[in-house]
Structure 1
Amino acid sequence: MVAERSEAESGPVRRRPKDRKLQIMRAAARAFSQRGYHPVGVDEIAAEVGISGPALYRHFANKYALLVAAAEEGARDLRDSAAAADDPSLPPLDRLTALLTAVAERDIDIRREAGLYRWERRYLEREDRHRIRAYYRELEAMVGAPIAELRPSLSETEVAMRAVGALSVLASISAHRSNLPQARTLALMLEMAMAVIFADLPPEPPEGAAEPGQVGLTVSSKREQLLTEAMRIFGRNGYHESAIEEIGAAVGINASSVYRYFDSKADLLLAAFNRASDRITLAIEDALREATDRPDAARRIADRFVRLTFMTPELMPVYYAEFGSLPPAEQHRLRALQRQTVLEWANLLDGDPIEARFRVHAALGIIIDVGRLLRFDSRPAQLARMGALASSVLSPSVS
C-alpha cells in the first residue's frame, strides 16, 4: 500500500477564492472603463486576475455577459452603498450629507471602474441597459428625497437635475487621473456636489413651450453630411457596432460611394475626433476673446461647452469614449489636446491648480449627464440653466 503524502510533501491545497467572480467583474470594469469594451480581450482580463481564458469562461459565457455583469455590479454596488447610509429619520441636510459621503467614498474606492456605464452603455442591449439604469434611478431618487425637503420650491425636474448633477460630480473622478490626498478629494467632491444642489439657476422654461425652429442652412457637402451622420451613429451604436452601409444610407448613398470621401471607417472616426477638437478649441478662443476677466472667461467656456454638447449631443460621447478605436499615435495626440483643453479652462480658476482640474472635469460631467436627463433640450432658457449649473462647481468665486 502506498503511503499517503504528508501535508508538507504535497504542498498547500489551492482553492478557488470565494470572490473570484467579483474579481473578474472588477478587472473587466477597470479595463472596459479605461480602454473601451471592444479593444479589451478576455484573455487580458483573465491574466490580470491570474487565471486562464478558459477558466474565466467557467464564470461568464462570453465577453458580452461579462460586460453586463460588470456594469450591473457597479450600479448595484453604488445603490447599496447609498442605501446602507440612508436614514430618513435624520434632518434632510444630515441625510443628504450621509448619502453623498457614502457614494463619494465608494466612487473614490472604485475610481478606475466608475466610468463603465457612462461610456460603454451603448454596447448594452436595450433590456440590459434599462435594467441597469433602474439602479441609478433608485440612487437618484434617494439623493433627490432630501433635496426636495431642503428646497421645497423646486419642481420635480429641478430636483432631478440637482440629484443627477451631484452624483455626476462624485463620479467625475473616473474621467481623469489628477490626484489629491483622499481626505481632500472627498471634501472637494462633497463641496462641489453641494454647490450643484444649492445653485441658483435662471427660471425654468415653461412646460410645453414651443421648441425653437431649425436655425441655419443644411450642409450640402456630402463629406460634411457623412461626418455629421457618422458622429450621430457612432454616438448611438458605438464605433464597432456601426456600419459604413448605415452611415452611407443616412445621407442617401451606398457604401462604396462613402469611400470616395473617406478611406475607411477608421478615417471617419479620426475626422470626427478632429472636428470635435476644432470646435472645442474655437469655443475656448471665443470665450477668452469676449471675457472681461478670468471668472467671466470660465463661465463663458461653460456656456459654450453646454451649447456645443446640446446642439451635437453625439459629439462628446464619441470624443471621450472611442479613443481605444484609434491608432496609438492618434490616441496620444488627441489625449494631449484633451489635456490642454482642461488645463486652459482650469488655469482660469482660483486656488490650487490640481483642484481646478477636478472642478473642470466635474463641470464637463454635469453637462453630459444632466444633458442626458434633459434629452439635450436646446431651448435658450435651458441652455442658460445648464451653463449656470456647470459653472456652480468651478470655484467659490464662480457660482
Structure 2
Amino acid sequence: MVADRSEATLASARPDARPAATDGESGPRRRPKNRKAQIVRVAARAFAERGYHPVGVDEIAAEVGISGPALYRHFRNKYALLVAAAEMGAQQLLDAAKAADNPALEPEPRLTALIRGIAEYTIDVRREGGLYRWERRYLEREDRARIRVIYTDLHDTVAAAIAALYPGADAADVQLRSAALLSAIGSITAHRTALSTTRLLHLIDEIGWDILRCELPPAPGPVTGDPILRGLPVISKREQLLTEAIRIFGRQGYHEASIEEIGAAAGINASSVYRYFASKADLLAAAFHRTGERVAIANSEALAEATGRADAAVRIADRFARMTFAMPEILPVYFSEFSNLPASEQHRLRSVQRQNVLEWANLLEGDQVEARFRVHAAIAQVVDVGRRVRFDGRPENLARVSALMRAVLLGVPAPSDPVAQPE
C-alpha cells in the first residue's frame, strides 16, 4: 500500500555544477565550500529511493560531478555516507523545528508555526526524508543510538508545545500525539502523489490539528502476568517460509538475509527452500503479493460489512492496524525492499499497491488527491505509533491507533475552545 520509491532516478538528484568546477578533473578546480553537504544530500536521496545496498559510491560521485577517489577524500566508505546522511537529516529536521518553535506564543499559534516549519522542511527534502525511517537497520548500534538522541529531542520539542495546549494531560498521551503528528508529516516522503506546496501545507496543517483534537481512548495499564498467546502455527512449509522471510527481511534487511537463515527459521535446510521458491528474490516477491492480497481481502470485507463510506474507511483502518500489529515487520519490508524486486514484479505490484490506496481513498469525502495523502498518513500512524507502543497488540493500544487513523482519514471538527478538549 505504498507508492513505488524506485520510480525516481538518481539523475534528477544531481545538483547543478559546471564541468570545470568538478573535483578530480582537468581544468580550474573551483571546489565549492558545500561540496560535502552536496555529497550527503545526493547520497541520502539515492539511499532513500533505492535502498542502501543497491547504490554504489561511484554512482553518487557521478551525480555530484566528481570522481570516486575525490568522494573518498570526504568519506572513507559507503557506510560513512549512510551515517552522515542519516545524521544530517535528523539534525536539520530538529533545527527546523527549533527555529519554528516559539514558547512565548499562545499554544495554538505556537503549534501552527511548529507544524508549518517541520512541514516546509519535509517538503523540501521529500525525496530523501524517509532515509532513517526505513534504512536505519543498516546502522551500527552506536550510530543508531546517537541519531536517536536527535529524534528524541525533536519529539520532546513537539511534545512541549502539545503539553502547553493541553496542560495537565497525561504524559503518555502527549508523547503519542507527538509521534502521530510527526508521523503524518513524514508520511509524504513515502509516496510521490503530487500536490502544490500551498495546498500540501494547508492539508498537513489540517491533518495535524485533526490529530491534536481527536479524543484518545485510555491507555492500557502495565503488563501483568504472562502474555496471552493467540493463534495456531500453520503447518504449510511454504507459509512458514513466507512468514519467517518477512520477519528476517524486516529485522536485518533483504541483502543481509540468507536463504540458509530463512530455511533454518522454518525448520528446513537451504536446499529444501528451493523446492518452494526459486530464489531469494522470488521469496521477497511472494511476500509482497501475499501482503497485497491480505490488504485487498481486508478492503473487500470492510466494504461488505460497512453501512456507509466513512464506516468502510474506518473498518479498513481497524483491519489494517490489526494485521500490522500481528506482524510488525510487514510494513517496513513493504516500504523499504521494493527496489530489490525484479522490474517485472515491481510493475505488477505497483498496480496492486495503487489500487489498494485508491480503493481506500475513494471512500473519503472531498478532493481525491488530498484523500490519498490522508490514506498514506493513516498508514504511517500504524508504523510510527505502533513502534512507539512496541506493537503491543492489546485492545487498548489498537483502539488508540485506530482513533488516530480515524481522525487522519475523516477529520475532527474544531472545537470552540481546544484547550478544554478532554484527554
TM (norm. structure 2) is 0.88
Q: How far apart are the structure 1 equivalents of 2:299 and 2:305?
A: 10
The worse-fitting range, judged by mean Cα deviation, of 55-64 and 94-103 is 94-103
Pair 1:254-2:243 in alignment: no
Q: How far apart are the structure 1 equivalents of 2:193 and 2:146?
A: 32
Q: How far apart are the structure 2 equivalents of 1:354 and 1:31?
A: 26
- Matched residue, 1:89: 104
Structure 1 position 149, deviation (Å) = 2.3
The answer on whether the counterparts of 2:213 and 2:412 sit within 8 Å (CA) in structure 1 is no
Cα offsets for 1:281-303 (capped at 9, x unmatched): 11111111111000001111111
Cα offsets for 1:18-37 (capped at 9, x unmatched): 11111111111111111111
1:22 is aligned, of 26, 30, 37, to 37
1:99 is aligned, of 110, 114, 117, to 114
- Matched residue, 1:365: 380
Pair 1:340-2:352 in alignment: no
1:78 is aligned, of 87, 93, 101, to 93
Q: Which runs of 5+ in 2 are unaligned?
A: 1-25, 415-423
Mapping for residues 275-294 of structure 1, pairs under 5 Å: 275-294=290-309
The worse-fitting range, judged by mean Cα deviation, of 306-315 and 173-182 is 173-182
Match of 1:241, SS?
coil
The answer on whether the counterparts of 1:299 and 1:398 sit within 8 Å (CA) in structure 2 is no
Q: How far apart are the structure 1 equivalents of 2:44 and 2:83?
A: 10
Pair 1:264-2:290 in alignment: no
2:237 is aligned, of 222, 229, 235, to 222
Check 1:252–1:12 CA distance in 2 against 1; reply closer, same or farther (3 A cut): closer
**Alignment identity in percent?**
62
Q: How far apart are the structure 2 equivalents of 1:66 and 1:264?
A: 30
**Number of residue pairs matched?**
389
Code of the residue aligned with 1:196 in structure 2: it is I
Task: State the superposition RMSD in angstroms.
Answer: 1.8
Q: How far apart are the structure 1 equivalents of 2:347 and 2:138?
A: 24
- Matched residue, 1:146: 161
Cα offsets for 1:340-392 (capped at 9, x unmatched): 11111111111111111111111111110111111111111211111111111
Pair 1:383-2:403 in alignment: no
Cα offsets for 1:84-118 (capped at 9, x unmatched): 22222222222222222111110011111111111
Q: Comparing both chains, which one has the higher relative contact order based on Cα–Cα distances under 8 Å and sequence gaps of 6 or more?
A: 2
Pair 1:242-2:257 in alignment: yes
Code of the residue aligned with 2:135 in structure 1: it is E
Q: How far apart are the structure 2 equivalents of 1:151 and 1:313?
A: 31
Q: Which runs of 5+ in 1 are unaligned?
A: 1-10
Check 1:388–1:209 CA distance in 2 against 1; reply closer, same or farther (3 A cut): farther
- Matched residue, 1:4: none
Q: How far apart are the structure 2 equivalents of 1:120 and 1:248?
A: 24
The answer on whether the counterparts of 1:295 and 1:398 sit within 8 Å (CA) in structure 2 is no
Code of the residue aligned with 2:62 in structure 1: it is A
Cα offsets for 1:45-104 (capped at 9, x unmatched): 112111122211111111111111101100000011111222222222222222221111
The answer on whether the counterparts of 1:212 and 1:379 sit within 8 Å (CA) in structure 2 is no
Structure 1 position 181, deviation (Å) = 1.7
After TM superposition, the runs of 4+ consecutive aligned structure 1 residues lying more than 6 A away are: none
TM (norm. structure 1) is 0.94
The answer on whether the counterparts of 1:392 and 1:398 sit within 8 Å (CA) in structure 2 is no
- Matched residue, 1:35: 50
Q: How far apart are the structure 2 equivalents of 1:201 and 1:209?
A: 23
The answer on whether the counterparts of 1:162 and 1:196 sit within 8 Å (CA) in structure 2 is yes
Q: How far apart are the structure 2 equivalents of 1:12 and 1:52?
A: 14
